[in-house]
Amino acid sequence: MSDLIIENGRIVDGTGAPAFEGSVLVEGGKITALGADADAKANPGIKRIDATGQTVMPGLIDTHCHLSFDDAGSNSEIFHQRRNALSALVASYNARKLLRAGVTGLLDPDSTFENMIDLRDAIDANIVEGPRMSCGAYALITGVGGTAGRLIADEGVSGYYMPVNNKDEIVQEVRRQIKYGADWIKVHVTGIIPRQSHKGELCVWTMDELKLICDTAHDLETPVMGHCRGADATRKAALAGFDLIFHGTAMDDAALDVIIDRKIPIAPALTFQYNMVEFGKKIGTSDNLMSIFEREITDSIETMTKAHKEGVPLLTGSEAGFSLVPYGDWHYREMEVFVKYFGMSTLEAIQCATQKSAFGIKMAGEVGVIAPGYRADIICVTGRVEEDLSLLGNPDNITNVMIDGVEKDLSPPPKRNPIQGWRLASIGDMRLTREVAYGGEQPTATLNIEELH
Ligand SMILES: [Zn+2]
């Protein structure tokens, strides 16, 4: 790795502090000095990057990105159309889009064939270029299923799930995943069952089972993360010892109290919903469905705002992997949710996407901040990002992306052609009734949105 100095930039350091002008010196893959100190220490022959008119900031960290799903339109596609090696190869292609979007770190919660463990190792070995990765393996689920309902087999792997049907299987599966290299254990704590009277998702585990997962994983120094929607599930997961909560929507005071008491980070991953709220019309979504999606965000305003104020880290996650949040386009977007709905300043939101989200890749204190001693995961972005977060949405604005001080290839990936049998064949959701065929007014198209994640 070559040493370098980034000059004339405007530094947003990722701690929430105001932007300031100055240089950043990178030596041996680490940030070693800032400002006048950096100018003085830099030796004359060093590589120089001129960041005039640019923001110099830590790379973004996306703590909820499924790199093996390949912008899927449905769970069925992920469960039935994919092959192991090919989906890992496709993920390596998509990983480059994340680099171009300024993402230098990501947490992949669960993957088909748990093959993102292999991509992570390939990136670490410098065989494939991509962001730093931390990942789970198969998501643990009980026999009753979860958000993919009857797509999930009673036994054995399906899609990105592994059902565990008793306590012995829980212990066995947690240990197996750790043996094969999972950084995290992912649990689908909530699901939907047919004919339930409960509104929203139900907790599908007992407290003892959740504790057993945590105890088994923690004994092997591995943290646990859970998909939790609803108050009961979030409270139970928090009490059981979960280290990271995904979604955390619809919390009540009892759940929030435990979260605040233990300062358990939450990655709400509401970009999916926000895209639907703002752009649903463009893909033919009905007003009714759009308001359901917006309610999922607005119902959480009070709890998320309070959690943030009380010092609970809110992490950014895009839920990329599904067709509503394609790779490369929306990784910055969760910050806009935090600003618009949870009352954060843009600098606070940037801190969530950098310093705080470093927890998701198990590198808190090592990356996510521009300060001496931190690893040089840095991006240069044209314009003042703290005044307009959407600048991060255009890869052309992102001129330099480095990890450990090594500059990444930001050229666009080659144009992609279709892969046979990869997408789920569909004749669309519109029912061709006689009214549609011959009627005067065009009814609004409805989108068949499964409860994906
Ligand atoms: Zn997800």
Kindly list the domain boundaries of the chain, sorted by start residue: 60-363
How far, in Å, is the centroid of ligand 1 from the Cα of 38? 41
How far, in Å, is the centroid of ligand 1 from the Cα of 110? 8
Q: Which residues surround ligand 1, an ion (CB under 5 A)?
A: 453
| Percent of the chain clearing pLDDT 70 (strictly above) | 96
How far, in Å, is the centroid of ligand 1 from the Cα of 32? 36
| CA 135/CA 115 separation, integer angstroms | 10
How far, in Å, is the centroid of ligand 1 from the Cα of 137? 13
How far, in Å, is the centroid of ligand 1 from the Cα of 220? 24
The residue-averaged pLDDT of 87-113 equals: 97
Least confident range from 11-20, 135-144, 284-293: namely 284-293
How far, in Å, is the centroid of ligand 1 from the Cα of 275? 15
How far, in Å, is the centroid of ligand 1 from the Cα of 292? 19
Kindly state the tokens that stand for 307: 């959690």
Is a pLDDT exceeding 50 seen at residue 452? no
The residue-averaged pLDDT of 144-152 equals: 83
pLDDT confidence of 448, banded at 50, 70, 90? very low
User: Which residue in this structure is represented by tokens 């592994």?
Assistant: 162
How far, in Å, is the centroid of ligand 1 from the Cα of 244? 13
Residues 213-253 pLDDT 10s: 999 999 999 999 999 999 999 999 999 999 999 999 999 99
| CA 265/CA 307 separation, integer angstroms | 9
How far, in Å, is the centroid of ligand 1 from the Cα of 432? 33
How far, in Å, is the centroid of ligand 1 from the Cα of 66? 7
How far, in Å, is the centroid of ligand 1 from the Cα of 376? 28
Is a pLDDT exceeding 80 seen at residue 441? no
User: Which residue in this structure is represented by tokens 């748990």?
Assistant: 114
The pLDDT assigned to 258 comes to 98
Q: Name every residue whose Cβ is closer than 8 Å to that of residue 210 and which is 6 or more positions away in sequence.
A: 187, 189, 236, 237, 240, 241, 242
How far, in Å, is the centroid of ligand 1 from the Cα of 64? 6
Least confident range from 158-162, 389-393, 420-424: namely 420-424
Residue of 280 and 57 predicted with greater confidence: 57
Q: Which CATH number fits domain 60-363: 3.40.50.10860, 3.40.50.300, 3.20.20.140, 3.30.420.310?
A: 3.20.20.140
The residue-averaged pLDDT of 324-345 equals: 97
| CA 269/CA 246 separation, integer angstroms | 7
How far, in Å, is the centroid of ligand 1 from the Cα of 134? 14
How far, in Å, is the centroid of ligand 1 from the Cα of 65? 7
Our measurement of the distance from residue 445's CA atom to the centroid of its chain's CA atoms, rounded to an integer in Å, reads 29
Is a pLDDT exceeding 80 seen at residue 94? yes
The residue-averaged pLDDT of 364-377 equals: 98
Average pLDDT, the chain: 93
The pLDDT assigned to 364 comes to 98
**In terms of residues, how long is the chain?**
453
| CA 284/CA 169 separation, integer angstroms | 43
The residue-averaged pLDDT of 419-436 equals: 79
How far, in Å, is the centroid of ligand 1 from the Cα of 453? 5
Is a pLDDT exceeding 80 seen at residue 168? yes
How far, in Å, is the centroid of ligand 1 from the Cα of 438? 41
Is a pLDDT exceeding 90 seen at residue 438? no
How far, in Å, is the centroid of ligand 1 from the Cα of 294? 18
Residue of 149 and 235 predicted with greater confidence: 235
The residue-averaged pLDDT of 21-44 equals: 97
How far, in Å, is the centroid of ligand 1 from the Cα of 109? 7
Residue 318: closest CA among 105, 83, 58: 105
Is a pLDDT exceeding 60 seen at residue 449? no
Residue 200: closest CA among 186, 211, 189: 189
| Percent of the chain clearing pLDDT 90 (strictly above) | 83
